[in-house]
Structure 1
Amino acid sequence: VGRAQGHASPPAMTQQHPGRDSPPVWWTDMAAADGAAPLRVAEWENGPEWRRENGWTGSDFVHAQTAPVHIPGYLLDSPGGGPRLVGAAHFGPAAESHRGLCHGGTMCALMDDVIGWCGFCASGTCEPWSGFTVQIDTSLRAPVAVGAWLRVEATIVRREGRKVWVEASLSDPLACSDGRPRVHCEAKGLFLIKKEDTLKSGGPLSCERL
């Protein structure tokens, strides 16, 4: 119960989100690479009816297909020893603030999401709702154009007991300066793992590493 059974077919995109059904090649290549480990999360994949039946009352703020800024999913690996999540984020017209540019809060929302989900992976496998983000320090480096697809990434850099420190970034792999992707946003976060007695009485774990 609570696990997605296979990849759900994404619903057709409306005109409100042009380009959302055409993720960039750099992301599709990463997702299709040998050894790629996508997170499978039931509340992202199984639709609104499943969410209602399992206690949710609305759509996911970041992972819903209709969200102003949308992450279709994350890949989990451990290139430097600590768990890392990588995803692609699409900024739709509903994220607009200044003409043609997205609200800075959309970048902050992405940092909150990827830091939280990276914290859920502190054990090396994904355990949703096994803790919570208690602090995020975000630096906005460059504006984001409406319609952009950007790379979002978070890595666990330190852990002491229940405390987990995570660093995250939002960048454009196709816009490089001095051989490095343009960074739009960076963040540092502190994630706190629940106490064991809290974990045992927590909600269902609905995610697995494939």
Structure 2
Amino acid sequence: MSTEDPPKPPSLPTVDEELAKLRILCEKQEAEIIALKERYEPTMTTIVKAAGTYGASEDVPTWVEAFENSIEGLVVDDTFTTSSYRENNRFKGLDFFHSSASSCKLSQYRVFETPRTNWMKVEAVVQFTKNAEGAKGWVHRGAVSALMDDAANFAGFNISGELNLFSGFTKQVFTTYSRPVRIGAILKLIGQVERVRNRTDIIITCSLIDPSYNNALHAKADCIFVMNESAAEMLEPLVAMKQKERGNSGADKSAEWNTPEPWSVEMSKTSFETVPDPAFRPPNRVGRYGLGSRIDDDLAQKIDERTARTFIPKAGSLIKNAEKHVTKKRIEQERTRLEAEEELERERVRNHPARGIGRVWGARSDS
């Protein structure tokens, strides 16, 4: 008989050990998933970290990671912006904002529904590179306006909550610049659908804000996105439903939305009431002189004050002189007309046949 001890049963792991192993395994798998996602679907955080010119990972605002890790909103599929898609579909050139060589790094859009307008909005994280530089260290405003156009397009494509690619085009982008944008700044881009007008026109408001500084506004744009006929036909039931939910009769109460504001000067001591609108004067809400800031408002106020001091009295005196000139001219014309009529009457009497006969008879009677 063998004197060896019987084998001991395997030790059962404790609950704490199992939980620790599972936690380590989950962390490894999560790290692998994140690595694969960043490899094939780079986020804005990854892009900013890779752009060494604009700061390291600690420079990425906390709201960026919160935005990308949020479960709210639907991520818009932007496969059509990739270089491979564009090459396979015979596009010429790269996408203006969504390619690796773009002047602005733009994350994938997220679609949300807002209770205020009862329509969809899109949001994305943006960062301008040195390729968008205008003045040294500052972003060119044309790049900002082009970014507004991109947001309006994606808002129009996703008005129903689902991506309807190339369902229309941007008809108008009316941009107001509030603050300059520094190269490398990380901002949030918003494209908000306001309403549908005239069946095919989508009114969209776009804005570029900085969540790190209490949502400071850098630029805002009033845009019009025009849907094609098939997209407008598909959207008609949704428009009717939303109008019913809002209690709207369907009448467009803002038909004059794109009409420039009239400019006039009220007159009190002259014979006329208004001065006509000067040519090429933009609406007041944009800034009359293109500066788009408080400087513009101050300049406009000074010019208006100077106009009130100098132009209005001159206009009154000019009109009075014009009235005098018109009155004098009419008197001269009337005098000339009367003189001409008198001359014609004398000529008619002088050439009348009875004038000669009377002279002969008078001569005979005198003899």
Q: Output the TM-score relative to the length of structure 1.
A: 0.80
**Unmatched 5+ residue regions in structure 2?**
1-36, 235-367
1:48 Cα shift? 2.2
The alignment-based identity, stated in percent, is 24
The structural deviation recorded for 1:154 is 1.0
Tell me, yes or no, if structure 1 residue 31 matches structure 2 residue 65: no
How is 1:86-125 mapped onto 2 (pairs within 5 angstroms)?
A: 86-125=123-162
C-alpha separation in 2, matches of 1:20 and 1:91: 13
Q: Does residue 171 of structure 1 match 2:209?
A: yes
SS at match of 1:109: helix
**Residue 127 of structure 2 aligns to a residue in which SS?**
strand
Equivalent pairs counted in the alignment come to: 189
Q: 3-state SS of the aligned residue for 1:40?
A: coil
Secondary structure of the equivalent of 2:209? strand
1:190 matched to 2:216? The reply is no
Contact 1:91–1:147 at 8 Å: present in 2 too? yes
Of 157, 176, 180, the residue aligned with 1:143 is: 180
Q: Is the 8 A contact 2:124 2:190 kept in 1?
A: yes
Higher RCO, Cα 8 Å, sep 6+: 1
Amino acid at match of 1:134: K
Tell me the SS of whatever aligns to 1:83.
strand
Q: Is the 8 A contact 2:167 2:231 kept in 1?
A: no
RMSD: 2.8
| Residue 108 (structure 2) aligned to one of 68, 73, 86 | 73
Counterpart of 1:54 in structure 2 is 89
Name the CA distance, whole Å, in 1 between partners of 2:67 and 2:41. 19
Matches of 1:197 and 1:147 in 2, distance apart? Answer: 37
**CA 1:87–1:9 in 2, change beyond 3 Å: closer, same or farther?**
closer
Query: With structure 2 as the length reference, what TM-score do the two structures score?
Result: 0.47
Structure with the higher helix share, 1 or 2: 2
Higher strand share: 1
| Contact 1:16 1:92 (C-alpha < 8 Å) held by counterparts | no
Deviations 1:175-201 (A, max 9, x none): 23xxxx21100001011110129999x
Asked whether the equivalents of residues 17 and 66 of structure 1 are also in contact (C-alpha less than 8 Å), the reply is no
Instruction: Indicate the larger mover: 86-95 or 50-59.
Output: 50-59
